[in-house]
Structure 1
Amino acid sequence: MNAVEIEQAITDLAEQPFDPAQFPYAFLEAFGNKATTIKRLRAGASNKSDLGGVLQTSNIHILTCDAGQVTQTLAALKASPATVKAKAKFILATDGADFEAEELSSGETVACAFKDFPDHFGFFLPLAGISTVRQISENAFDIRATSRLNRLYVELLKDNPEWGTAQRRHDMNHFMARLIFCFFAEDTDIFIGKGRFTETVAQMSAKDSSNTHDVIGTLFLAMNTQKEDRPTAGVPRWAEDFPYVNGQLFSGSIEAPRFSRIARSYLLHVGGLDWTRINPDIFGSMIQAVAEDEERGELGMHYTSVPNILKVLNPLFLDDLRAKLAEAGDNARMLLNLRKRMAKIRVFDPACGSGNFLVIAYKEMRAIEAELNRRRGEPDRASDIPLTNFRGIELRDFPAEIARLALVIAEYQCDVLYRGQKLALAEFLPLRNENWITCGNALRLDWLSICPPTGVGVKVQADDLFGSPLDQAEIDFENEGGETYICGNPPYLGSRDQKDEQKADLRLLFDKRVGNWKSLDYVAGWLMKATDYCTNTRSIAAFVTTNSICQGLQVPVLWPAIFTSGCQIEFAHTSFRWANLASHNAGVTVAIVGITTQPRSPRRLFSLDRSGNTIERQGSHINAYLALGESVIVEKAGQPLSEISEMTFGNTPIDGGLLLLSRDERDALQLTPAQQRRFVRRIVGSAEFIRGLERYCLWIEDQHLTEAHTIAPLAQRICGVRDLRLNGGKTARDIAGRAHQFQRMFIGKNATLVVPSVSSESREYLPCGYEPAGTVVSNLAFALYDAPLWNMALIASRLHLVWIATVCGKLETRYRYSNTLGWNTFPVPILTEKNKADLTRCAEDILLAREHHFPATIADLYDPDNMPADLRAAHDRNDEVLERIYIGRRFRNDTERLEKLFELYTRMTAEAAKRPSLQASPRKRGEGAGSRSRKNAADNTGQRELTAK
């Protein structure tokens, strides 16, 4: 369940007759508990309450009580030993009239009438696994309003299906935008008399709803007609008191969809909410989902927290403005100069959605300006910051409308807050006609025309502010010398998720600039457009992006093009979760990157520590991997940069599955024990190694081929492999004469160190380990044959995981390993014999700890929630020993680890470039030193893959 669905369920519960016996179970069900969970609680199997209530372990203790006993009951719940033992997060007491609850960790409480407890549903969102922020708890209204509007929207489409077609969808969305404005206006004195719009609809429309659409259309007509023109326009007397709004919000057709009784009821219910509590920076991103069919199933999941937005805006320009305000003190001249500067600042979001970033930027700037005016003794001064300086591009029309509406509401709220209700009202209506949010494809439009390097004005007024996009070429500016700050959260879309038109967008941007652009995430297009913009203007651009564009194979594709244009990274925030309001949704892992051609000093790099607190580091440069240090691009290397063992790609069958065997298939061959020892070996890839799966293969040496042909089942398989290879690609045809063997035949004499090629990102360490002599490693893993044990200590370290995650990147969300890009480039200081001995002991301790928990698999042992203490301690000791070799102490965090690794990599590659023997051309991935074939085994025809998790 998401937050909106939970709010609806809670509201429905509050409206039902209070049943003290059933309430606790209904409450838990409203927060997404499954029927089986409720059944177990009812039966007492999982109910731990010692007071006759309902206690769900690690969640909540609920107790209903007699009238007037709520406070005493809450105290009893708090004192209950069972509450403590079960580690309850919340306690809740109610008698059906009053309602009290407490979050035990923070001590925060809720006390209200029972009928009002849905207003506090945000307080309880952690019960549904939603990690919320304080702002949601304090602004639960926005979710409630979204829920009501969604019900109204869906109900209207039932009775007006034609309004849901592509031809009329814009009309429907425009109608909803008008309603939202009216609800806000009637509760904030923009319309004289609180609730005036809703009350008028209730009074003038029939209870059977037959004329509701006519009443609303008439009100829309009044709001689009000036007072002196109303008699001619036919505005009736009962609508005369509504103000002239114009601003093109009510221009054009005044038609409204027809209302059923249910839809009319929903409309009155929505209007009955307190719209003074609307928070446009939250509300906009949620309401846009109401009008999007593909998003309505995820309603309420699009909330972007203000703290996350400020991770972009603060270092982009707000920190600097606040610093200049502090520097100015009470100096009137300096304050005036700052105000003039702020009036020229443009904030441009070329993927603005419903305007979250623009609204937050506007509100923060108004707060700075208000303090500035207060210091100058001009608290009532009208704002010098025009809304038209907050520009955006949005692909879909409804979010673009909501963005404009959200900014209009934000402007009014700021005027009320800083100048007072009277002045705010006096200047609010009529709305201006400017259209400053462009509807279109940001990767196809000319950003310099939409947000030129000068000006704040608008030359041509729109015919329809809330609907028709203005021709971007007709926007005119007269404001030389201003700054432009580009920001936003563009669509991510990995290369596999892009549609043809999105691929075409990237082709236009990258086809003549870089090779292999098809591997780029869609968000890379915004960075490239921003790069072009920055090279022509005084501007800085900062986007929330997928962290993958700063990792792995995308780095050498994208970032050289950005850097060669003259742009540099001025600030960045390393990977963090950009969570939403979906239940148990961890969100996507993102990074923030700020680029400009004129970077300020020092460069600022933000990251999160283990406690989730933001820490800042400063330096002279930030590289493409978001580490402090000189610009460096890690390229594939054909041999190790450091003095470590060679790692090769595993053995590729190219067999159609005929050389691979399950246990049953092995037994079905009916080989003698001697034959089985000669012809069958255990094979491991990523899945087999991590999950402990049993798999075998035919491994036939040339000297045993004649005997193998005398065994019918083996001869049949060899013949099948030959036929398949002869009909395959060039690589397969080249080895058809060795149909009894894999493409390559590598095997360890004593032991093989196995490194899975793909593994889960949830593990704290990369899985690796030794397999005994005779074990074959498949092409789904990497191998170090007969390598010294201290190599495992390197691979199993936190240092190496951080390096792999950064330079190799990920496959979907899983770590993707590469020998040429990750292992061969891994910078290791020169190790003394004592260093190697210490690391060998660390590796032994890790292996012994694993053995202690036999037969647990790697997947079991490295489950982050269930990792054995002795194994964790062994890894921690390994990290300490290795990190002391690097810097003489433990690293403070991953950011510091990367800085050291890149520093060492830069120095070692520079030294290696001076040694001719190390300038060999890189080999293709999968080609080991002893390979029989120098060809890439890419056409692994018929290979049966198992996903390693």
Structure 2
Amino acid sequence: MNAVEIEQAITDLAEQPFDPAEFPYAFLEAFGNKATTLKRLRAGASNKSDLGGVLQTSNIHILTCDTGQVTQTLAALKTSPATAKAKAKFILATDGADFEAEDLTSGETVACAFKDFPDHFGFFLPLAGISTVRQISENAFDIRATSRLNRLYVELLKDNPEWGTAERRHDMNKLMARLIFCFFAEDTDIFIGKGRFTDTIAQMSERDASNTHEVIATLFRAMNTGHEARAAAGIPRWAAEFPYVNGALFSGSDEVPRFSRIARSYLLHVGGLEWTKINPDIFGSMIQAIAEDEERGELGMHYTSVPNILKVLNPLFLDDLRAKLEEAGDNPRTLLNLRKRIARIRVFDPACGSGNFLVIAYKEMRAIEAEINKRRGETDRASDIPVTNFRGIELRDFPAEIARLALVITEYQCDVLHRGQRLALAEFLPLRNENWITCGNALRLDWLSICPPTGTGVKVKADDLFGSPLDQAEIDFENEGGETYICGNPPYLGSKWQSAAQKADLGALFDGRVKNWKSLDYVAGWFLKAADYGTHTSSSAAFVATNSICQGQQVPTLWPEIFGTGNTIVFAHTSFKWANLASHNAGVTVVIVGISTMPGLTRRLYSIRDGSHESVECKHVDNINAYLVAALNIEVQPAARPQNGLTPMQFGNHPYYGAALIFSNDEARSIVAGSPEAARFVRPFYGSKEFIDAAPRACLWIADQEAEAALAIPVIARRVEDVARARRAATKDASARKLADTPWRFREQTMGKRHALIVPRVSSENRPYLPIGLLEPHCVVQEKAFALYDAPLWNLALIASRLHWVWIGTVCVRMRTDFSYSNTLGWNTFPVPTLTEKNKADLTRCAEDILLAREHHFPATIADLYSPDNMPADLRAAHDRNDEVLERIYIGRRFKNDTERLEKLFDLYTKMTASATPAKGKKRKAGGKA
């Protein structure tokens, strides 16, 4: 379940007659507990309560009580031994009239009337596995409003299906935008008299809803007609008292779909909410899902938190504005210059959705301007920051409409906050007619025409040019605008998931300009468009993107072209989870990358410290490369052999049309049971999945000198003949036809004499370490894994380290978000210092300790042992010791974080490749700042 669905469920629960016995189970069901879970609780199998309530382990202890006993009951729940033993995070007590709860982790409490507890649903979202930000808990209104509007939208489409067609979708979306504005306006005195819009509909429409659409249409027509023209337009007196709004919001058709009694009821219910609480930066991103059939099932999952948005906007330009404000102090001239500068800044989001980034940017800039006005003694001054400077492109019309509406509402709220409601109301209506949010395909539109570049100059107004230029200089904006900052969260979409149209969008940008562009994520198009924009004017851009654009093959494909435009990476936020409001949602792993053509900017690299999103480290660095490492702009190129002196890593053995050589363990047992002499030719067979799941298959392994003996066994002969036929049938594959002469062989026929180290080619990024294992010499490694044959055991220690995990995750290709290991790109390039014999002995001991810790938990698989939440303590400790030993070899101490690990690895890689001879026919790309 997501947050909107949960809010609706507990609202329904609060409206039902209170049943003390059933309430705890209904409450848990509202937060997504399955029927089987509730059945076990009812039966007592998993109910750990010692007070006669319902106690769900690691979750909540609920107890209903007699009237007037809620506070005492909550206290009993808190001191209950069972609450502590079950590690409950919440306690809840209610008598059906009052309601009290406590978060035992934070100490926060809720105390309210029972009917009002849905207002606090955000408090309980962790019960549904939703780890969300404080803004959601504190702004529950936005989710409640979204839920109600969605119910209204769906109900209207039931009786007006034609309004859901492509031809009428725009009209339906326009209706919703108009209603949102009216609900907001009636609760904020924009329409004189609180609730006036809703009350008028209630009074003028019939209870059977037969004329509700006509009443609403009349109100819309009134708001689109100037007061002097209303009599001639036939606007009735009851509608003529509404203000003239204009602003294109009510222009065009005033047709409204017919309302059923239920739809009318929903409308009045929505209007009855407290719309002064609307939060445009949250609400807009959620409401856009209402208008999208394919997204309505994920309602509430579009929220982008303000802290995440500020991870983009702060380093892009807001931090600089605040620093300039701090420097200005109370100097009136310097403050004036800063205010003029702010008024000319354009913020441009070419994938704006419902306007989250633009709304937050506007709010933050208004706050800075308000402080300037306060210091200059001009608190009543109207804002110089026009909302038309906050420009966007959005593919779909409804989010584009909501983005514009969100900015209009935000402007009013900022005026109320910084100037007072009287002045805010005096200047709010009529709305502007300008359209500054463009509806269209951002990768096909000309950004320069939508947000044209303009120059700035500085004119010194002083007789003495050597006087105090800081005090005297005024920014002279000879053109309309000033600085432009491009930002946003464009669609990611890896190459395999792009539609034909999206692939064509990228082709229009990259084809003929960049080789191998078809492997790029869709978001790469926004980076290239922003980079090209920067060649025409000094600008900076920052986007949220999947971390894959800064890893593997996308680095040498995309970033040389970006750097070639004169842009550099001026700030970046290394990988972190970008979560939404869905329950148990892990979120996508993203990066934030800021590029600019502006000279002299300080380069800043942000990274999560200790895995906490609340703890972010910022380092000032000389350069940030395309891997988001403080190192030279170098591209890691595949190497045919190890550049580090390590044991060569090979692909496993490829059957090459030899499927008949491979079979299940059951088939193996059947073969041996029927022909015992075949046993010496049957071997365990491991690929990536087989090793990780500890479930090897079996194969025939026949050396050339043993082929005659093997083929004398009928069951083997039949399988070998099947291989011969398959290889001969591959008429277009000369290699296969040649191998048909030795059909008992795999294409490669390699095996260790003492052992083999197996390295899966694909593994989950969620594991804290890369999987690697030690196999007996008789085991066969297939081509879906790599092998190090008879390699010293300390090689295992290298691959099982956090250092190697970080290197592979950065330089190798990704398969979705999983690691796709490469021997040429990952192992052969892995920078390793010169190891002494003692170093090797220490690492060998570490490798042995890891293997022994795994053995201690037999028969647990690699998948079991390396589950991030369930890794055994002794195995984790063995890996920690391994990391300790290895990292001390590199720098004499443990690395602070992955960012520091990568910096060292890239430094070593640069030195390693600088001393090596480039491979013939290959150009090694390296250098300083791009």
| In 2: Cα distance, 1:104 partner to 1:713 partner | 67
Amino acid at match of 2:659: G
Amino acid at match of 1:567: N
What is the aligned partner in structure 2 of residue 264 from structure 1?
A: 264
Q: Are 1:768 and 2:755 matched, yes or no?
A: no
1:868-879 aligned at under 5 Å gives the runs 868-879=872-883
For 2:804, which of 800, 803, 815 is the aligned residue? Answer: 800
Give the superposition deviation at 1:642: 0.6
What is the aligned partner in structure 2 of residue 36 from structure 1?
A: 36
What is the aligned partner in structure 1 of residue 753 from structure 2?
A: 749
1:369-448 aligned at under 5 Å gives the runs 369-448=369-448
What is the aligned partner in structure 1 of residue 814 from structure 2?
A: 810
Give the superposition deviation at 1:598: 2.3
Q: Residues 272, 240 of structure 1: CA spacing in aligned structure 2 closer, same or farther, 3 A cutoff? A: same
Q: Residues 115, 478 of structure 1: CA spacing in aligned structure 2 closer, same or farther, 3 A cutoff? A: farther
1:851-862 aligned at under 5 Å gives the runs 851-862=855-866
| In 1: Cα distance, 2:672 partner to 2:837 partner | 50
1:773-788 aligned at under 5 Å gives the runs 773-788=777-792
What SS does the corresponding residue of 1:773 show, helix, strand or coil?
A: coil
What SS does the corresponding residue of 1:658 show, helix, strand or coil?
A: helix
What is the aligned partner in structure 2 of residue 582 from structure 1?
A: 582
> Which deviates the most, 803-812 or 293-302?
803-812
RMSD: 1.5
What is the aligned partner in structure 2 of residue 844 from structure 1?
A: 848
Q: Which runs of 5+ in 2 are unaligned?
A: 457-476, 924-930
Q: Are 1:132 and 2:132 matched, yes or no?
A: yes
Amino acid at match of 1:172: M
What is the aligned partner in structure 2 of residue 944 from structure 1?
A: none
Give the superposition deviation at 1:759: 1.1
| In 2: Cα distance, 1:42 partner to 1:490 partner | 47
Give the superposition deviation at 1:511: 1.0
Query: Number of matched residues?
Result: 899
| In 2: Cα distance, 1:856 partner to 1:98 partner | 50
Contact kept? 1:524, 1:558, Cα under 8 Å: yes
> Which deviates the most, 609-618 or 247-256?
609-618
CA displacement 1:50-76 (0-9 Å, x = unmatched):
111111111111111122221221112
Q: Are 1:17 and 2:17 matched, yes or no?
A: yes
> Which deviates the most, 548-557 or 599-608?
599-608
Q: Are 1:831 and 2:830 matched, yes or no?
A: no
> Which deviates the most, 709-718 or 79-88?
709-718
| In 1: Cα distance, 2:455 partner to 2:78 partner | 61
Q: Are 1:733 and 2:737 matched, yes or no?
A: yes
What is the aligned partner in structure 1 of residue 650 from structure 2?
A: 648
Amino acid at match of 1:579: A
Contact kept? 2:346, 2:481, Cα under 8 Å: no
| In 1: Cα distance, 2:246 partner to 2:208 partner | 31
What is the aligned partner in structure 1 of residue 85 from structure 2?
A: 85
| In 2: Cα distance, 1:207 partner to 1:355 partner | 37
Give the superposition deviation at 1:479: 3.1
1:574-723 aligned at under 5 Å gives the runs 574-612=574-612, 613-655=615-657, 657-670=659-672, 675-723=677-725
| In 2: Cα distance, 1:410 partner to 1:879 partner | 51
> Which deviates the most, 808-817 or 141-150?
808-817
CA displacement 1:173-216 (0-9 Å, x = unmatched):
00110000000000000000000000000000000000000000
Contact kept? 1:691, 1:858, Cα under 8 Å: yes
Give the superposition deviation at 1:77: 1.3
Q: Are 1:900 and 2:904 matched, yes or no?
A: yes
Contact kept? 2:484, 2:540, Cα under 8 Å: yes
Amino acid at match of 2:77: L
Q: Residues 100, 244 of structure 1: CA spacing in aligned structure 2 closer, same or farther, 3 A cutoff? A: same
Calculate the TM-score normalised by the size of structure 1: 0.93
Give the superposition deviation at 1:663: 1.6
CA displacement 1:30-87 (0-9 Å, x = unmatched):
0001111111111111111111111111111111112222122111211111111111
Amino acid at match of 2:223: M
What is the aligned partner in structure 1 of residue 112 from structure 2?
A: 112
What SS does the corresponding residue of 1:737 show, helix, strand or coil?
A: coil
Give the superposition deviation at 1:672: 8.0
Amino acid at match of 1:719: E
1:126-205 aligned at under 5 Å gives the runs 126-205=126-205
Give the superposition deviation at 1:130: 0.3
| In 2: Cα distance, 1:447 partner to 1:840 partner | 58
> Which deviates the most, 875-884 or 649-658?
649-658
| In 2: Cα distance, 1:809 partner to 1:189 partner | 57
| In 1: Cα distance, 2:100 partner to 2:593 partner | 45
Amino acid at match of 2:664: S
| In 2: Cα distance, 1:598 partner to 1:922 partner | 33
What is the aligned partner in structure 1 of residue 474 from structure 2?
A: none
1:927-946 aligned at under 5 Å gives the runs none
Calculate the TM-score normalised by the size of structure 2: 0.95
What is the aligned partner in structure 2 of residue 47 from structure 1?
A: 47
Q: Are 1:452 and 2:460 matched, yes or no?
A: no
Q: Are 1:95 and 2:95 matched, yes or no?
A: yes
| In 1: Cα distance, 2:674 partner to 2:295 partner | 61
Contact kept? 2:312, 2:592, Cα under 8 Å: yes
What SS does the corresponding residue of 2:448 show, helix, strand or coil?
A: helix
> Which deviates the most, 544-553 or 61-70?
61-70
What is the aligned partner in structure 2 of residue 887 from structure 1?
A: 891
| In 1: Cα distance, 2:269 partner to 2:529 partner | 45
| In 2: Cα distance, 1:782 partner to 1:675 partner | 31
Give the superposition deviation at 1:707: 2.5
CA displacement 1:860-905 (0-9 Å, x = unmatched):
2212222221111111000000000000000000010001000110
Give the superposition deviation at 1:226: 0.6
What is the aligned partner in structure 1 of residue 466 from structure 2?
A: none
What is the aligned partner in structure 2 of residue 459 from structure 1?
A: none
Give the superposition deviation at 1:611: 4.3
Contact kept? 2:658, 2:746, Cα under 8 Å: no
Give the superposition deviation at 1:708: 2.8
Contact kept? 1:637, 1:922, Cα under 8 Å: no
What SS does the corresponding residue of 1:633 show, helix, strand or coil?
A: coil
What SS does the corresponding residue of 2:598 show, helix, strand or coil?
A: coil
What SS does the corresponding residue of 1:912 show, helix, strand or coil?
A: coil
1:515-554 aligned at under 5 Å gives the runs 515-554=515-554
Contact kept? 1:222, 1:235, Cα under 8 Å: yes
What is the aligned partner in structure 1 of residue 354 from structure 2?
A: 354
| In 2: Cα distance, 1:533 partner to 1:152 partner | 42
CA displacement 1:738-761 (0-9 Å, x = unmatched):
222111111111110110111122
Give the superposition deviation at 1:481: 6.1
Paired-residue identity, %: 76
> Which deviates the most, 879-888 or 21-30?
21-30
| In 1: Cα distance, 2:133 partner to 2:481 partner | 39
Q: Residues 599, 569 of structure 1: CA spacing in aligned structure 2 closer, same or farther, 3 A cutoff? A: farther
| In 1: Cα distance, 2:89 partner to 2:479 partner | 55
Contact kept? 1:569, 1:599, Cα under 8 Å: no
| In 1: Cα distance, 2:386 partner to 2:142 partner | 26
Q: Are 1:864 and 2:868 matched, yes or no?
A: yes
Q: Residues 18, 233 of structure 1: CA spacing in aligned structure 2 closer, same or farther, 3 A cutoff? A: same
| In 1: Cα distance, 2:492 partner to 2:378 partner | 45
| In 2: Cα distance, 1:47 partner to 1:677 partner | 53
Give the superposition deviation at 1:706: 2.2
Contact kept? 1:638, 1:921, Cα under 8 Å: no
Q: Are 1:368 and 2:372 matched, yes or no?
A: no
Q: Which runs of 5+ in 1 are unaligned?
A: 457-476, 924-949
CA displacement 1:475-510 (0-9 Å, x = unmatched):
xx9835611000000001111110000000111111
